[in-house]
Amino acid sequence: MELARLYSLRLWAYRAAEAAAVTGAALGRDYAAYIAGGEISLDEVAAFAAAEATLRQELDAKGVSALASYDIRVHADNKPGLYPGFPPISHAGMLPGDWAPSAPSVGVYLELRITPVMYGWINGNAPIPLRVFAAASVVTP
Protein backbone atom coordinates (compact mmCIF):
# COMPACT_ATOMS: atom_id res chain seq x y z
CA MET A 1 0.00 0.00 0.00
CA GLU A 2 2.76 2.42 0.96
CA LEU A 3 4.73 1.72 -2.23
CA ALA A 4 1.62 2.29 -4.33
CA ARG A 5 1.09 5.66 -2.61
CA LEU A 6 4.70 6.71 -3.25
CA TYR A 7 4.54 5.53 -6.87
CA SER A 8 1.29 7.43 -7.40
CA LEU A 9 2.81 10.61 -5.94
CA ARG A 10 5.88 10.22 -8.15
CA LEU A 11 3.73 9.91 -11.28
CA TRP A 12 1.73 12.95 -10.19
CA ALA A 13 4.97 14.90 -9.58
CA TYR A 14 6.16 14.10 -13.12
CA ARG A 15 2.88 15.39 -14.52
CA ALA A 16 3.05 18.55 -12.39
CA ALA A 17 6.65 19.29 -13.46
CA GLU A 18 5.75 18.59 -17.08
CA ALA A 19 2.71 20.89 -16.92
CA ALA A 20 4.86 23.66 -15.45
CA ALA A 21 7.56 23.25 -18.12
CA VAL A 22 5.07 23.18 -21.00
CA THR A 23 3.15 26.18 -19.66
CA GLY A 24 6.36 28.15 -19.16
CA ALA A 25 7.53 27.39 -22.69
CA ALA A 26 4.12 28.15 -24.21
CA LEU A 27 3.37 31.38 -22.37
CA GLY A 28 6.97 32.60 -22.35
CA ARG A 29 7.40 32.70 -26.13
CA ASP A 30 8.93 35.95 -27.33
CA TYR A 31 7.21 36.70 -30.61
CA ALA A 32 8.97 40.07 -30.93
CA ALA A 33 12.27 38.23 -31.37
CA TYR A 34 10.65 36.02 -34.02
CA ILE A 35 9.28 39.00 -35.94
CA ALA A 36 12.57 40.90 -35.68
CA GLY A 37 14.97 38.07 -36.50
CA GLY A 38 13.01 35.04 -37.62
CA GLU A 39 14.04 32.94 -34.62
CA ILE A 40 11.73 32.17 -31.71
CA SER A 41 13.06 32.67 -28.20
CA LEU A 42 11.71 32.87 -24.68
CA ASP A 43 11.12 35.85 -22.45
CA GLU A 44 12.92 34.60 -19.33
CA VAL A 45 10.75 36.50 -16.85
CA ALA A 46 7.44 35.50 -18.45
CA ALA A 47 8.47 31.86 -18.93
CA PHE A 48 9.70 31.54 -15.34
CA ALA A 49 6.59 33.23 -13.91
CA ALA A 50 4.23 31.00 -15.92
CA ALA A 51 6.09 27.82 -14.98
CA GLU A 52 6.27 28.75 -11.30
CA ALA A 53 2.60 29.77 -11.13
CA THR A 54 1.54 26.48 -12.72
CA LEU A 55 3.75 24.43 -10.41
CA ARG A 56 2.55 26.27 -7.30
CA GLN A 57 -1.07 25.78 -8.39
CA GLU A 58 -0.48 22.03 -8.85
CA LEU A 59 1.27 21.75 -5.46
CA ASP A 60 -1.50 23.67 -3.69
CA ALA A 61 -4.23 21.60 -5.34
CA LYS A 62 -2.54 18.38 -4.19
CA GLY A 63 -1.86 19.80 -0.72
CA VAL A 64 1.89 19.15 -0.81
CA SER A 65 3.30 22.69 -1.03
CA ALA A 66 4.97 22.40 2.38
CA LEU A 67 6.71 19.18 1.30
CA ALA A 68 8.09 20.54 -1.97
CA SER A 69 11.21 22.27 -3.17
CA TYR A 70 11.85 23.11 -6.79
CA ASP A 71 14.24 24.73 -9.23
CA ILE A 72 13.10 26.23 -12.53
CA ARG A 73 15.56 27.22 -15.26
CA VAL A 74 14.82 29.07 -18.48
CA HIS A 75 17.09 28.79 -21.52
CA ALA A 76 15.94 31.75 -23.59
CA ASP A 77 18.38 31.60 -26.50
CA ASN A 78 18.01 29.71 -29.74
CA LYS A 79 21.55 28.37 -29.29
CA PRO A 80 22.65 25.23 -27.47
CA GLY A 81 23.20 25.74 -23.76
CA LEU A 82 24.64 23.82 -20.84
CA TYR A 83 23.48 23.95 -17.23
CA PRO A 84 25.97 21.92 -15.18
CA GLY A 85 24.54 20.33 -12.09
CA PHE A 86 20.94 20.83 -13.17
CA PRO A 87 18.97 18.89 -12.22
CA PRO A 88 20.91 18.62 -8.95
CA ILE A 89 20.33 14.87 -8.65
CA SER A 90 21.91 12.86 -11.42
CA HIS A 91 19.06 10.38 -11.86
CA ALA A 92 16.09 12.74 -11.71
CA GLY A 93 14.22 12.00 -14.90
CA MET A 94 16.91 9.49 -15.96
CA LEU A 95 19.23 12.29 -17.07
CA PRO A 96 22.99 12.39 -16.46
CA GLY A 97 22.82 15.60 -14.39
CA ASP A 98 23.79 18.31 -16.89
CA TRP A 99 20.88 19.83 -18.76
CA ALA A 100 21.87 20.73 -22.33
CA PRO A 101 18.93 22.27 -24.20
CA SER A 102 19.39 22.85 -27.92
CA ALA A 103 16.42 25.21 -28.28
CA PRO A 104 14.66 27.77 -26.07
CA SER A 105 13.46 25.67 -23.14
CA VAL A 106 12.10 25.57 -19.62
CA GLY A 107 13.41 22.94 -17.19
CA VAL A 108 11.63 22.09 -13.94
CA TYR A 109 13.16 20.06 -11.11
CA LEU A 110 10.77 19.11 -8.32
CA GLU A 111 11.51 17.30 -5.07
CA LEU A 112 8.87 16.14 -2.62
CA ARG A 113 9.89 14.95 0.86
CA ILE A 114 7.22 12.43 1.79
CA THR A 115 6.97 11.07 5.33
CA PRO A 116 5.94 7.43 5.10
CA VAL A 117 3.20 5.90 7.21
CA MET A 118 3.78 2.14 7.32
CA TYR A 119 7.37 2.20 6.06
CA GLY A 120 8.13 4.67 8.85
CA TRP A 121 8.32 1.78 11.29
CA ILE A 122 11.35 0.53 9.36
CA ASN A 123 13.18 3.75 8.48
CA GLY A 124 12.29 5.74 11.59
CA ASN A 125 9.89 8.10 9.78
CA ALA A 126 12.70 9.72 7.80
CA PRO A 127 11.23 11.56 4.81
CA ILE A 128 11.60 9.81 1.46
CA PRO A 129 12.62 12.14 -1.37
CA LEU A 130 10.72 11.86 -4.66
CA ARG A 131 12.68 13.67 -7.37
CA VAL A 132 11.51 14.42 -10.90
CA PHE A 133 12.64 16.55 -13.83
CA ALA A 134 10.77 17.72 -16.92
CA ALA A 135 11.65 20.09 -19.75
CA ALA A 136 9.80 21.64 -22.67
CA SER A 137 11.17 23.49 -25.70
CA VAL A 138 9.88 25.75 -28.42
CA VAL A 139 11.17 25.64 -31.97
CA THR A 140 10.97 28.00 -34.90
CA PRO A 141 8.44 26.72 -37.43
Q: What tens digit of pLDDT does each residue of 20-39 get?
A: 999 999 999 998 988 998 88
The answer to whether 134 touches 17, Cβ cutoff 8 Å, is yes
Q: Report the distance separating Cα 98 and Cα 89, nearest Å.
A: 10
Q: What order do you get walking across the sheet with 105-114 strand by strand? A: 68-75, 105-114, 128-137
State residue 121's pLDDT score.
59
Distance of CA 49 to the CA centre of its chain: 13
Kindly report, residue by residue over 60-109, the tens digit of the pLDDT: 999 999 999 999 999 999 899 999 888 887 665 555 578 899 999 999 99
Question: What pLDDT, in 10s, does the model give residues 70-83?
Answer: 999 999 998 999 99
Q: Say what the pTM is.
A: 0.88
Helix, strand, coil % (nearest 5) of the chain?
A: 45, 25, 30
